[in-house]
Amino acid sequence: MSNGSTPVARYFFSATGIRAEFTDSVRGQVPIREEDGKDSGATTPKRGTDVKSISAFLLGALLLAPWGAVAQGARPAGQPAQVKQQLERGYSLIRANKKSEAVQAFSTVLKSDPENHAALIELGYLQAGFKRWPSAVKYLKAASVQDPKNMRLHMDLGYAYQATKDFESAAKEFEDAASEPGEFQAQAQSALKTVKDAQANVRAAAAEKQQKTLESAYAALRSGDKQAARQRFQAAFKADAKNALAAKELGFLDLEAGSLKAASEHFEAARAAEPTDYFVALQLGYVYQRLGERAKAGEAFSVAMTSPDEKIHAAAAAAFNTSASPEAPAGTASQSNR
């Protein structure tokens, strides 16, 4: 290395791998080569010799600035020489391809300086290189919080989220970068489309699986196997607590088993998921009658009375206006109504 300066690791990260080169100048322009990682289906960042390394500039700031202050502002008094030594050791270990030891070196920095920006970034990239995506997210997120205007960090954090299949969080990071004109905008827009497509695929797969579970549950119900039907409706309800069909059918099965409290809970869930299911509101009113909860029964009947279906409206009105006993049977439904 020329001028005898400390080597600097230059990174550019995506979920497809870590790219690094070493230069003895934080302003040097060097090619980027891929070192670690295999294709995980994430968007690949654009390559180029003019990509500036955040870690390189940060370390340059650390090496050039007085050790009482760094790029992020003044640090508490302590032992800056030891921090400097560990940072330099960390980069030396990266250059020697001793990445596990580099993790230890940068972790040591954080023990004495928990908010050290350079150490957070390097640990994020190193953990990503090991495919330890949750840890990579942890460190890159902490670094991004410190530097929210840094679009490179938003991109790198987005790729790490994408690797964990947290597409919602990844989309948020890419949206931030895509909203800012500059070096990463086009890349962020492309990455955002990728995760949006992935989200859509996940939703479609979940919906298909849910549909098959419900079909299987109804098949068991038709064959008279109520235990199997309950298990399958419960699986559908667990996968999606807003699934009105699963909640409603569980309510009817609860009624048949004499579990009024459970029936009320499932009918409430069905009503919340589908407020215009007036038949469920009517059933809920009957259940609350039998539980002796007259106020809740009256509220449910009032909702059912707004039904455009004349039979449901008439039944709800009669129940609302009649002082029914707690033992009054809950309304029964034919299979077609269910």
Q: Which two tokens stand for residue 285?
A: 């009113």
The more confident residue out of 70 and 167 is: 167
pLDDT digits (tens, 9 = 90+) for 25-59: 222 222 222 333 333 333 333 323 222 333 333 33
Rounded-to-integer distance, Cα 199 and Cα 256, Å: 39
pLDDT digits (tens, 9 = 90+) for 141-169: 999 999 999 999 999 999 999 999 999 99
pLDDT digits (tens, 9 = 90+) for 258-308: 999 999 999 999 999 999 999 999 999 999 999 999 999 999 999 999 999
Rounded-to-integer distance, Cα 101 and Cα 114, Å: 19
Radius of gyration of the chain (CA): 30
Q: Which domains does the chain have, with CATH numbers?
A: 2-174 (1.25.40.10), 243-338 (1.25.40)
Res 62 pLDDT > 80: no
**Residues with Cβ within 8 Å of residue 91, at least 6 apart in sequence:** 6, 7, 8, 9, 59, 102, 122
Res 333 pLDDT > 50: no
> How confident is the model at residue 303, as a pLDDT?
96
The more confident residue out of 205 and 13 is: 205
pLDDT band at 63 (very low <50, low <70, confident <90, very high): very low
> How confident is the model at residue 138, as a pLDDT?
97
Average pLDDT over residues 218-247: 96
Average pLDDT over residues 75-103: 84
Q: Which two tokens stand for residue 227?
A: 């235990």
pLDDT digits (tens, 9 = 90+) for 156-211: 999 999 999 999 999 999 999 999 999 999 999 999 999 999 999 999 999 999 99
CA distances from 286 to 245, 269, 292 (A): 19, 16, 10
**Residues with Cβ within 8 Å of residue 283, at least 6 apart in sequence:** 251, 252, 255, 267, 330, 331, 333
Alpha-helical (H) ranges within the chain are 54-64, 80-95, 99-112, 117-129, 133-146, 151-163, 167-178, 185-222, 226-239, 244-257, 260-273, 278-291, 294-304, 310-321
pLDDT band at 338 (very low <50, low <70, confident <90, very high): low
> How confident is the model at residue 148, as a pLDDT?
95
Average pLDDT over residues 228-251: 96
Dihedral (CA of 300, 305, 311, 317) sign:
positive
Rounded-to-integer distance, Cα 33 and Cα 232, Å: 51
Beta bridge partners of 11: 20
